[in-house]
A and B are shown apart, each in its own frame.
Chain A
């Protein structure tokens, strides 16, 4: 029996809790005597805190404490790792140090200068308004464009300059493109505000309801910060109201709340404000990129240079894979990449969905479109002429790559043949019409995880992992994997997740969770099956004499595949052996084949836009996104991931930009009315296609990740479609109407 059939769509296993409001997010756990914490942020971006008047705040009704640099309780292990990962190392400390409520130095706008705790939310909020500060203000440096000369090469080996072939070979090509591309600061803005609910359950043990993408990472960070045995730090995040990367690390204000909860001897809850979500929990860094590309008359790439310069904080170097995909996506013999950082008076960035690859793909895939235009080639044809059959970066084969098929199916679905060859030549009424496409790619990874599986005598199955499900449908995918291996009906499987009392799992990020935790579920369920087979086939047992390979499981029955009538109920088998359950826990990770191949997921995005030539308004009217991400485990939630990437991509392409007033180093649109994420009216008909071909080199399910590729490249597809519609090339996101005025 094929244990990895094409899977059927099933409803999300936690769907009933989500549609009825019974799913509990971190701020919704009721602990007796919970106190409320409100952060007072600095109103300057650089300088020194001179005076801090907390007297009125401290005297306000219900106030339990006003914590500042003068009275903040000690945190013994301040240098705790920040934890988590997406596709690279976490932010690295610099010579500058940021310690929340330690000292008077202000390093970024909104830096906490006081944390006010009271017995109700309203009282804490009011008291926080009474805290008054005076500062010595220095002129903040927050404008990447003005400080490019201060760019530094990050010390992390992962980010070192890359070169193959001839240096700057692009210059020798007959057709050359040099262009700069800009992605502005973007903010994750999940719907749930960040924060934490912390309770010391004894002087040496801690209970945390957190908004984290990895309960184990938060557990490690807090154990180290407070010098605790990690086993005494319990972290719970079963439901998380969106992360998109911001929950990939533990933030200083979370640690501060834990310290304050200890001092006050009662649970303390912090729920940040929306404006603080812009200041204190990271963002996608403003990044300038230059692409230099040369191609010959046959449309073959001769040379490529991809350079990126991104903002970071003064106190931590945040890096991401902005230039990575240029190294391997196309078969280009000579190529160089360079990645630089500019340290500014800003809070530190953090990976945001797609992360650096989404930023990089905007540049690379816009440039591919521009070069195709110079070459008078269809941009899809240009990509096919430079298709890489093997990985040119590592000189090794891809584990699997069905990108060609993805191109073909996407082109057919959008009606690519209707794309006007000449930009600005197709109209619908007063609207100009254009088509664009792009490619996305992201590492397909498999890390390490442990899973416990318990098959009960009543035929039900329990699966346990500490992994968090931030929304992609991890719990649903794990349920399907267990069902595929053990044949237990879906409604008899319970997956428990999001708690450190469960077997350890990596942080949810980097599109690696189904591959990693799913494999652990697969392996552990396989061990349970092995035990069942042994029980069923030993002498005197119901299926005695049959070999393991002959047997299969379905609907709670173990049967001989060739003779369906020869079967035994799993429950009966356990009963006969006087077993209450079969209980297995195994650790699982990838093998040596991970070094022999290059593993990537791919996406192709096609979009059709209408541009109003008089107003510059852009409307995305139809999108087709194709995912080549191995076997699709959960088709329904996978499709949702894809449409979510499209919605995020429309925002990235057309509206999202966190605008700073550089005189003050402060955001001017730090709320959801002024920072425009895509809303219902922005999102058109979306078609998603999955290639659904398994890649067994990565893991036994053949599944690759898709959370990142759903977004990566999308913004370039829109920019390319806008060019096709108008002849106007916009190289700086978002593509707002001011950049398109007078296009006809």
Chain B
């Protein structure tokens, strides 16, 4: 939503600056929180750097069961928040375009591509990453199955495959090999461990274990 009384630049007259964005986007919480003195400075084009200082927004989210009170820029993706700010590097960046599934995490139990999820949209939600699924000493049954079936080689797509696999079983999409292949096709494995991944998922499903 934007304030209709503040028309956006005409086509052909681009004004893509951050100043313009801040001024014109009344829906942005940033504006409400930005002190008038700063806005004046922005109006006078004093410094892009000043604008940046006010672009951090509060975020409350539970990550792997822990409540987090964070301050992030609106443009930060959940993936970059996890990897670059929280040190949760188990979630991988494979394309940054939602095309490979390496960044798959659970938000409120649903599998999502963290690279397509702006961090601020997880406000009040529960995020689970591979680190929250199990540990080296206490593997989740899906991690056990991947290990046993050698469902990986380089290991880079593996956390995303496992998070997706857990969701796949929970969704009820793991009844046949064909179904697993279809519902796991958003997770690319360039090493080509697919056959073993499918075997691991079917194994977990057949065991009746709670995932």
B-binding residues in A (CB < 8 A):
11-12, 14-25, 27-28, 30, 59-62, 120-123, 126, 188-193, 239-244, 271, 273-274, 470-473, 636-637, 639-641, 643-648, 671-673, 677-681, 683, 685-686
Interchain CA distance A169-B177 in the complex, whole Å: 51
Q: How far is the CA of A637 from the CA of B73 in the complex (A)?
A: 43
A191 to B162, CA, bound (A): 15
Find A11's partner among B95, B130, B150, B192 (CB 8 Å cutoff).
Answer: B150
Nearest CB in chain A: distance from B167 CB, A: 14
**28 cross-chain CB contacts under 8 A:** A12-B152, A17-B136, A22-B90, A25-B92, A60-B48, A61-B48, A62-B52, A120-B73, A188-B190, A190-B154, A191-B156, A274-B97, A471-B155, A471-B191, A640-B196, A643-B194, A644-B192, A645-B192, A646-B192, A647-B189, A672-B100, A679-B185, A679-B187, A680-B180, A680-B182, A681-B185, A683-B195, A685-B177
Q: Chain B residues near A471 (CB, 8 Å)?
A: 153-155, 191
Question: Contacts A672-B188, A680-B180 given: A647-B97 contact, CB under 8 Å?
Answer: no
- Mark contacts of B149-180 with chain A using CB atoms, 8 A cut-off: 1 yes-contact digit, 0 otherwise: 01011111111001000000000000001001
Contacts A20-B143, A59-B48, A191-B94 given; indicate if A680 touches B198 (C-beta within 8 A).
Answer: yes
A683 / chain B contacts, CB cutoff of 8 Å: 181, 192, 194-195
Chain B 99-130 residues near chain A, CB threshold 8 A? 99-100, 102, 129-130
3 tightest CB-CB pairs across the interface, nearest first? A21-B90, A647-B192, A241-B156
Query: Roughly how many angstroms separate A678 CA and B188 CA in the complex, as a whole number?
Result: 8
For B193, list chain A residues within 8 Å (CB): 640, 643-644, 647
Do residues A673 and B76 form an inter-chain contact, with CB atoms below 8 A?
A: no
Cα separation A647 to B189 with both chains bound (whole Å): 9
Bound-state Cα–Cα, A281 to B159, Å: 25
Of B75, B89, B196, which is in contact with the most chain A CB atoms at under 10 Å from its CB? B89
Interface residues of B (CB under 8 A from A): 48-49, 51-52, 73, 75-76, 80, 83-84, 87-97, 99-100, 102, 129-131, 133-136, 139, 143, 146-148, 150, 152-159, 162, 177, 180-182, 184-198
Q: How many A-B residue pairs have CB under 8 A?
A: 199
A242 near B190: Cβ-Cβ < 8 Å? yes
- In-complex Cβ contact of A241 among B84, B133, B154, B180 (8 A): B154
Q: Report whether B190 and A677 are in contact in the complex, using a CB–CB cutoff of 8 Å.
A: yes
Once bound together, how far apart are the Cα atoms of A87 and B100, in whole Å? Answer: 31
Quick one: given A24-B89, A191-B190, A671-B97, are A17 and B155 in contact (CB under 8 Å)?
A: yes
Q: How far is the CA of A645 from the CA of B191 in the complex (A)?
A: 8
Question: Which residues of B are found within 8 Å of A19, using beta-carbon distances?
Answer: 134, 139, 143, 146-147, 152, 155, 158-159, 162
Contact B150 A640 (CB under 8 A): yes
How distant is the Cα of A545 from the Cα of B91 in the complex, in angstroms? Answer: 59
Give bound CA distance, A609 to B190, whole Å: 22
Residues of B within 8 A of A188 (CB): 190
What are the residues of chain B within 8 A of A685 when measuring CB–CB? 177, 195
The main secondary structure of chain B at its interface with chain A is loop
Q: Which A residue sits closest to B94, measured CB to CB?
A: A191
Asked if A21 and B89 make an inter-chain contact with CB atoms under 8 angstroms apart, the answer reads yes
Inter-chain contact A12/B147, CB cutoff 8 Å: yes
CA of A20 to CA of B139, assembled, Å: 8
Residues of B within 8 A of A473 (CB): 153
Q: Are A192 and B94 in contact (CB under 8 A)?
A: yes
Task: Tell me the minimal C-beta distance from B127 to chain A in angstroms.
Answer: 14
Tell me the nearest residue of chain A to B89, going by C-beta. A28
* B196/A21 in contact, CB under 8 A: no
Q: Do A16 and B94 touch (CB < 8 A)?
A: no
Quick check: B73 and A191 within 8 Å, CB to CB?
Answer: no
Contact between B188 and A677, CB atoms less than 8 A apart: yes
Are B97 and A644 in contact, CB atoms less than 8 angstroms apart?
no
B192 and A680 form a contact (CB under 8 A): no
Partner of A643, one of B99, B154, B157, B192: B192
Besides A61-B49, A273-B96, A643-B193, 11 more A-B contacts (Cβ < 8 Å) are A15-B152, A20-B131, A27-B89, A121-B80, A122-B75, A191-B102, A192-B154, A242-B153, A678-B194, A679-B194, A680-B185
- A536–B200 CA distance with the chains assembled, in angstroms: 46
Residues from chain A with a CB closer than 8 A to the CB of B147 are: 11-12, 15-16, 19
Asked whether, in the complex, the Cβ of A671 is within 8 Å of the Cβ of B192, the reply is: no
Q: Is the CB of B156 within 8 A of A190?
A: yes
Distance between Cα atoms of A18 and B100 in the complex (Å): 18
- The closest CB in chain A to the CB of B153 belongs to A471
Question: Which of A19, A24, A239, A641 has the most chain B CB atoms inside 10 A of its CB?
Answer: A19
Shortest Cβ distance from A19 into chain B, in angstroms?
Answer: 4
Contact partners of A681 in chain B: CB under 8 A: 181-182, 185
**Minimum CB distance partner of A16 in chain B:** B136
Would you call A271 and B153 a contact (CB within 8 A)? no
Taking A241-B155, A644-B193, A648-B192 as contacts, is the C-beta distance between A274 and B143 under 8 angstroms? no
- Contact A242–B192 (Cβ < 8 Å): no
User: CB-nearest residue of chain B relative to A640?
Assistant: B150
Q: What chain A residues lie within 8 Å of B198 (beta carbons)? A: 680
- Known contacts A11-B148, A121-B84, A122-B80; decide if A672 and B194 are in contact (CB<8 Å): no
Q: When chains A and B are docked, how far (Å) is the Cα of A182 from the Cα of B136?
A: 47
Q: Given A242-B154, A636-B150, is A643 in contact with B196 using a C-beta cutoff of 8 Å?
A: yes
Give which listed residue, B52, B96, B191, B195, contacts A242 with CB less than 8 A.
B191
* B154 in complex: contacting residue of A121, A122, A470, A677, CB < 8 Å: A470
On whether the beta carbons of B51 and A18 are closer than 8 Å, the reply is no
> Are A20 and B182 neighbours in the complex by a CB distance under 8 Å?
no
Which of B48, B76, B182, B193 is the most central at the interface, judged by chain A CB atoms within 10 Å of its CB? B48
Closest-by-CB residue of B relative to A23 is: B155
Q: Which residues of B contact A14 (CB under 8 A)?
A: 155
Q: Beyond A30-B87, A640-B153, is A20–B136 a contact (Cβ under 8 Å)?
A: yes
Residue from the set B49, B88, B150 with the largest chain A CB neighbour count within 10 Å: B150
B34 to chain A, nearest CB (A): 15
A100 to B84, CA, bound (A): 27
CB neighbours (8 Å) of A677 from chain B are 188, 190
Contacts of A640 in B (CB 8 A): 150, 153, 191, 193, 196
User: Do A190 and B95 have beta carbons less than 8 Å apart?
Assistant: no
- Which among B87, B153, B184 has the greatest number of chain A C-beta atoms within 10 A? B153
CA distance A274 to B153 in the complex (A): 21
Task: A678 to B192: give the CA distance in the assembly, Å.
Answer: 8
Q: Are B90 and A20 in contact (CB under 8 A)?
A: yes
Q: Are B187 and A239 in contact (CB under 8 A)?
A: no
Chain A residues with CB under 8 A of B88 = 21
- CB pair A673 B97 closer than 8 Å: yes
Residues of chain B within 8 A of A62, CB atoms compared: 49, 52
CB closest residue in chain A, given B98: A673
Q: Is the CB of A643 within 8 A of B188?
A: no
Which residues of A sit under 8 angstroms from B190, Cβ to Cβ? 188-191, 242, 244, 648, 677
Nearest Cβ on chain B to A64's Cβ, whole angstroms: 12
Please judge, given known A-B contacts A122-B80, A647-B192, A648-B192, whether A21 and B91 are in contact too, CB under 8 Å. Answer: yes
Q: How long is the Cα–Cα vector from A637 to B191 in the complex, in angstroms?
A: 12
Given A15-B147, A190-B154, A672-B100: A241 in contact with B92 (beta carbons within 8 A)? yes
Given contacts A645-B192, A680-B194, whether A18 and B93 have CB atoms under 8 Å apart is no
B102, B159, B194 interface centre (most CB from chain A within 10 Å): B194
Closest approach, in angstroms, between the C-beta of B203 and any C-beta of chain A? Answer: 14
Q: Report the separation of the CA atoms of residues A361 and B189 in the bound assembly, to the nearest whole angstrom.
A: 24
**Which residues of B are found within 8 Å of A243, using beta-carbon distances?**
154
Complex-state Cα separation, A360 to B87, whole angstroms: 45
Q: Is the CB of A239 within 8 A of B155?
A: yes
Nearest-CB distance from B45 to chain A (Å)?
Answer: 11
How far is B162's CA from A473's CA once the two chains are assembled, in angstroms?
20
Q: What residue of chain A has the Cβ atom nearest to residue B178's Cβ?
A: A681
Q: How far is the CB of B195 from chain A (nearest CB, A)?
A: 5
Q: Which residue of B49, B96, B156, B184 contacts A192 across the interface (Cβ within 8 Å)?
A: B156
Which residue of the partner chain A has the closest CB to B182?
A681
Whether the pair A686, B195 counts as a contact (CB closer than 8 A) is yes
Q: CB-nearest residue of chain B relative to A472?
A: B153
CA distance A17 to B156 in the complex (A): 11
CA distance A242 to B153 in the complex (A): 8
